Structure 1
C-alpha cells in the first residue's frame, strides 16, 4: 500500500473541505408554525468553501474558509431555496480549536466551536446561548416562538471526495411548551476543486 503524502495543511482539519460540493440526500426535521406540526423534508444542497487571507488577532493567528450552504426542497430545485447560510470556518492551530462563525438568513447568528487536532476527520461545532465564546443570537420574533437552548453540529470527512454533516438545534417551543430537536443531515460529494493559484473571491 502506497503511503499518502500530505502537505503542511495550514488550514488544519479544514483542508479537505476546499472546493464546491453537492448532495441530494439531505433530511430536515423541523417544527412548522403554520401547520403546527413537526415533519421531515428531503432536500438538495450546494455548498462551497474558499480559503480566506490569514487573520491575525494580536498573537492569535487564524487560517480559515469562507463558505456558503444553500438547500432546496426536493421538487423545488428551480424555485427559491428554503435554507441559506453564510459564514467562516476557522482554525487556531496553536490553541487547537475549530470555529464555525455562521449567519442564517432567518435572523440567527452562531459562533460555535470545539477542540480539534490538525488532521482530525470529525469536527464538532457546539454553542449555547450566553456562552462568552461559543454563543447563539436570534431575532425577537424567533425567540418568542422557539427559544434555542443549544446548537450542536459535526462535519465528518468521509474520504477525499465526500463529507457528511449533522446539525441539531435544541429548542423550546412557545406554542406547546415542549422541547424539540430541529435536525439536518446530508452527505455531499465534491463537484469542483479550486486551483491553488485562484484569487480570493
Structure 2
C-alpha cells in the first residue's frame, strides 16, 4: 500500500506523481510505415515529475510539475529511444482543472485538460484539434500523413503505489485512407523520491 499523503497538497491530484519512475510493461499500438502494417510494440520507460514554482496568470494560480517520459523498445534498451516527450502537468485549484502541456520530438504540441478534484485518483487529459483552449498542433508533414483528430490520456493512481497511464491518438492515415487509434499504456513504479538536502539533477 502507498503511504497516505496528508496536508494542504498544493499540487492537488498531481501530488502522488512526484519522483522518478520506471515501467517495463509498455505496449504501443501504432501503424508502421516501413512495414505497412499496424502492430504492437512492447517497451521499457523512464519518467520523472518535478515540482515547479507557482505560475500566475493574473488572478489564476497554477501549481504543477514539469516532466519527461522516454521509452525504448524491448531489446533496444542500449539504443536510441523510440519515444521522448517533455511537458508540464498543472493544477488550477480555484477552477477545479488539471492541464497537460506536452511536446513530442516528432513535431507535435498538445494542451489537454479536464475537470478534477484535489484527491482524484484518475486524472484525464483531453484535447481536440481546432479547439480554442485544449487543442492539438502538428507539423505540416504529419498533418498530411497522420492527421490527429482527437487526443485522450489518463493517469491512474493505484493503491499499491504504482501509476498506470493510457494514451489514445485518433489518426487519419493517408497510407490507408482510414482512421486508427494509436494507443500506449504502461504501469510505472517509483524508483526515487525527492527530498530536501539530497543531490539530484
TM-score (norm. length: structure 1): 0.95
- Please report how far the alpha carbon of residue 196 of structure 1 lies from its aligned counterpart in structure 2 after TM superposition: 4.2
Distance 1:145 1:157 in 2: 35
Q: Is 2:196 the partner of 1:190?
A: no
Give a deviation string over 1:137-158, Cα, whole Å, max 9, x none: 0001111101100000000000
Q: Is the 8 A contact 1:52 1:200 kept in 2?
A: no
**Helix, strand or coil at the partner of 1:78:** coil
Partner of 2:162: 162
- RMSD (Å) for aligned C-alpha atoms: 1.6
- Tell me by how many angstroms 1:179 deviates: 0.5
Distance 1:90 1:160 in 2: 24
Deviation digits for residues 120-150 of structure 1, max 9, x if unmatched?
0000000000111100000011111011000
1:1-201 superposed matches below 5 A: 4=4, 6-159=6-159, 161-196=161-196
CA distance in 2, matches of 1:5, 1:129: 36
> Measured at CA, do residues 18 and 4 of structure 1 come closer, stay the same or move farther in structure 2, by a change above 3 Å?
closer
* Separation in 1, partners of 2:88, 2:129: 19
Query: How far, CA to CA, are the matches of 1:159 and 1:185 in structure 2?
Result: 18
Please report how far the alpha carbon of residue 4 of structure 1 lies from its aligned counterpart in structure 2 after TM superposition: 4.9
Is the Cα–Cα contact under 8 Å of residues 43 and 72 in structure 1 kept in the other structure?
Answer: yes
Instruction: Quickly say closer, same or farther: Cα 1:4–1:85, change in 2 above 3 A.
Output: closer
Question: Residues 163 and 76 (structure 1 numbering): CA distance in 2 closer, same or farther, change over 3 Å?
Answer: same
SS of equivalent to 1:152: strand
Return the alpha-carbon distance in structure 2 between the equivalents of residues 194 and 138 of structure 1.
34
| Contact in 2 for aligned 1:50/1:200 (Cα 8 Å) | no
Q: State the distance in 1 between where 2:46 and 2:111 align.
A: 22
Runs (4+) off by over 4 Å: 196-201
Which ranges of structure 1 fall in alignment gaps of 5 or more residues?
none
Pair 199,120 (structure 1): closer, same or farther in 2 beyond 3 Å: farther
TM-score, length basis structure 2 = 0.95
Shift, 1:161, TM fit: 2.5
* Aligned-pair CA distance for 1:159: 2.7
**How many residues of Structure 1 are paired with residues of Structure 2 in the alignment?**
199
